[in-house]
Structure 1
């Protein structure tokens, strides 16, 4: 089985080169992604393409304004499939429009998305056809699965997602699993020297929909799903097989569209749902729920819904105002920390180059504490000030710049911590295989030995493979506090459905004092943490299936090599997973 896994991974990484020779190199924004994987992600930009008389062009300002008014989906809002589908139906009601659909593009599965709306105009002499009701209830045909019923006022659809993956770890935790998992309640059989191989799977059935209330431009929407996950044997932390089932999504919301002369949009929702702030630097949708231990999904990461999420989103053409109340889904059923965050975000996005914003986050509840030289500080009372500036396609040359800063203080304790990053690169969309090159420097402060303040940065709910998992293996040992990273990335897109990327991370510590880190590295003898190289490929086989392949090797630095008395070895990983979305 393991040899088959290696063979499939090599094939997945090389197959894009074959695809490149066979497929047209159309002008794609980046990698096409699925609506189901994009739920809750920010919309970075909205592009409206008009298809008329055999030609395609970007809508001018007048056309864009008209279709924006109808769709009421703006940059800076969050993607929701039901809301977007309803917006497409509103556009399709235009007497000039033959049909309409949309595509989503992103740099990877965890980044903000680009929404491309394709509007097909009636040809001369062509008559508009009104489809009426659609779906299995109307057609009595399974071919319409998963759509149950669709009218110009409502949609009801089944949800069926799933996935299976196989994972091969060589010398996990640098062959010192017992040492690096001390105090971890789920680590009853951590991997160490040698090979750890296992499989995981999950299925998520459910139902979701949206309906307009009369002719009011007010819509109610929601979804409910259950998620059942399992693994076949011991994973990197826990012994034996495991299976777990529970409610995953359970939320409802209401959208007030086309409000006032500015055609504003107000979206209010509450329940078990996903949320992400920017690209996950502070809050990632993939940190909304725990997946390890008896949930049997530590690598598939199948659960993403927060236990409680109250969201308020107010959007105009270029401005967005958000409020959020978040309680992550914790792993333990007993002795929960009940960590809860409340905050807001104000952003400006001109849908061309500029995306700037400012977030405020407050930890309003939680039992945890920070260890200081003089005792402890309660984690409750932490607040974060977070400005952001992203600039894309600088001088129309494909150059881009991204930067955020986070200051952490405390309402009642001596805490002053800082983190920031700046990254830049070039995206050559008009070149064969559309290469992208990116460099990022990230600083996450450690504890100062001579400070009266607690200065170690708390990464909150950071995460996301391809964004803020700074080394897929290193992350499990180092976390994201007291770290300085240099990241180099190169990526190619042989087609709109395939990408291959290689990432190099060089990691150093900011401080020798690492209280808050894992037990063997609470006091570092060196600031050289190590390096990691990761190769990743996504292949969107069709609109319902995606194959993910990943290979990574982490090389420990002096700080890790001298942290335990036993031998320290390089840690390599091979992963192959197939995902299903309906």
Structure 2
């Protein structure tokens, strides 16, 4: 029975438990699309204002196509704040229309020039906590954050937890028929620092670590057992440098190793580098994102970027497949509006298995993945056409494998209209295995994930069907009803790419008909302040003919509701 349970976990959960939709380390490690600098009270003298802006640009070297690294943003912002002309400054991170991140540095100028103290921070009696120490070379800061989530379901697992969770060793009083609910929470505290190695060469050393305690109480999707878990998430060190040439060209480089998060593109291939749930609690809150190990080298010259990486994801101990991925990612961005990219990765080690109807078991070890993509983005507040598309192919050097995945997404932003609506349609395809061929064709989703606007396809449905053997249609709108409130209604239609679904949920191993079902949901976001963020959703999932037949005709619609908040001291 134990082996059957482990098999269930490998089949159903895959490499990680990617049910959650909210990042505990909010937006850390995600890709930056655009950077803005805003003045609350710009100087009246245009020449002086231009000179000040040039000075700030040198002190805040944040560029599109790089990733959010909070300690670097903290350090850059603190340096700008040290200018005698500046009274106060802070940066704001917001998701862009197409899923990447917009960074805005907001600056309030002082009425009079003021000399700032050479040293400051709580450790030397300053009142600027969470900054612990800061001088003209170094910054040591603390980071404290917490989140809470209330979650309720009606007819989880289509009211058939007996079939959908049969053999799962994590099950102990799971959610099922009727209404159930639970609460999750986490709190984290960490210390991060950066110091200048060379002012002349603009070379810096940085690093940090944080501890996360997460807990769950009530009847969640797998168990009604209350539990608390505490462990490190971030724990990394790195160095970076920036060189500006007289002709205007810009070279930057960044090398880091340790426990840290990593994302490629919009998370189609790599996003969730850590697992949650199980003994770690926080199944939906998803507080942990850092891989067990990530070695990352990034070099950027103007609009061209190259990354070389090695990842060992932080999997749940009970399903740790010891997977190690190596590869490179390159991107070229044009005028912040267009971006093309190519990724290659190889799985050099893994115990993860691919199962077939004949009983043959193949191994992920030896997997090769090739991915090309194109995005046409828009800067915030600009109307126009939005396009995203990616195509990927998987092979394996140890057996015959040919799996495909891809999507096309098109939309339009009415940025000048009331509520600045953006409408998007996306078709996505993840191949299934045809048992009548000698080639294995089922798509391996690897570390895909994120949130409901990225690659969590359906708030409820994603818990049933991961991104494999799947054809999905998504229609989405984004409505900014006020400066701080955004509404995101979505409609999904799902079907299987192949009737053979071995490798998915065991209850759906064969789909008599290909229709998985439909989902309608509404997400709302409230950006109260830089410290407070609120988020909620309602989702209704209707099982399709294929699911109903596979479950013997007994499958109810699944409704869920969620309310979430996050607080960060920084």
Indicate the residue corresponding to 1:541 in structure 2: 528
- Please name the residue that 2:145 is paired with: 161
1:170–1:35 distance in 2 versus 1, CA, 3 Å:
closer
Inter-partner Cα distance in structure 1 for 2:227 and 2:24: 29
Q: Which runs of 5 or more residues in structure 1 are unaligned? A: 1-32
Alignment partner of 1:552 is 2:539: yes
Partners of 2:533 and 2:565 within 8 A in 1 = yes
Report the 3-state secondary structure (helix = DSSP H, G, I; strand = E; otherwise coil) of the residue aligned with 1:87.
helix
In structure 1, distance between residues paired with 2:471 and 2:365: 26
In the TM superposition, residue 364 of structure 1 has moved relative to its aligned partner by 1.5
Greater Cα shift, 548-557 or 35-44? 35-44
1:445 pairs, out of 409, 431, 441, with: 431
C-alpha separation in 1, matches of 2:52 and 2:305: 22
In 2, distance between residues paired with 1:571 and 1:234? 16
Match of 2:99 in 1: 111
Bigger shift: 48-57 or 185-194?
Answer: 48-57
* 2-structure distance, mates of 1:567, 1:36: 40
Task: Report if aligned partners of 1:201, 1:300 keep a CA contact under 8 Å in 2.
Answer: yes
1:415 corresponds in structure 2 to 401
Pairing 1:388–2:377 present: no
Q: 1:52 aligns with which of 24, 42, 45?
A: 42
Kept in 2: contact 1:434–1:493 (CA 8 A): yes
Secondary structure of the equivalent of 1:324? strand
Return the TM-score normalized by structure 1: 0.86
Partners of 1:386 and 1:103 in 2: CA distance: 31
Instruction: Kindly report which structure 2 residues correspond to 1:203-222, keeping only aligned pairs within 5 A, or say none.
Output: 203-215=187-199, 216-222=201-207
Matched, 1:328 2:313: yes
1:102 aligns to 2:95 (yes or no): no
Shift in alpha-carbon separation, 1:536–1:155, aligned structure 2, 3 A: same
Q: Deviations over 1:216-266 (max 9, x none)?
A: 421111111111111123311023211111111111111122276643111
Query: Which residue matches 1:342?
Result: 326
Give 3-state SS (helix, strand or coil) of 2:194's partner: strand
CA distance in 2: counterparts of 1:312 and 1:220, whole angstroms: 14
Judge conservation of contact 1:75–1:317 (CA < 8 Å) in 2.
Answer: no
Compared CA separation, residues 122 and 163, structure 1 to 2 (3 A): closer
Corresponding position: 1:37 with 2:26? yes
Count of residues in Structure 1 that have an aligned counterpart in Structure 2: 540
CA offsets 1:69-106 (integer angstroms, 9 cap, x no match): 55332211111122123333555677877765432221
Alpha-carbon displacement from aligned partner over 1:334-386 (angstroms, at most 9, x marks no partner): 56311121111110112431111111121121101212466232101111111
Select 1:398's aligned residue among 358, 373, 384: 384
1:566 to partner: Cα distance:
6.1
1:490 aligns to what?
A: 477
Distance in 1 (CA, whole Å) between partners of 2:498 and 2:136 is 59
Q: What are the ranges of 5 or more consecutive residues in structure 2 without an aligned counterpart?
A: 1-21
Aligned pairs for 1:438-517 within 5 A? 438-465=424-451, 466-517=453-504
What SS is found at the alignment partner of 1:562?
A: helix
Per the normalisation by structure 2, the TM-score is 0.88
**What is residue 410 of structure 2 aligned with on the other side?**
424
1:398 Cα deviation after fit: 2.1
Counterpart-to-counterpart distance in 2, 1:107 and 1:56: 30
| Structure 1 residues 64 and 380: alpha-carbon distance in aligned structure 2, compared to 1, 3 A threshold | farther
| Match of residue 515 from structure 2 | 528
Match of 1:136 among 122, 127, 132: 122
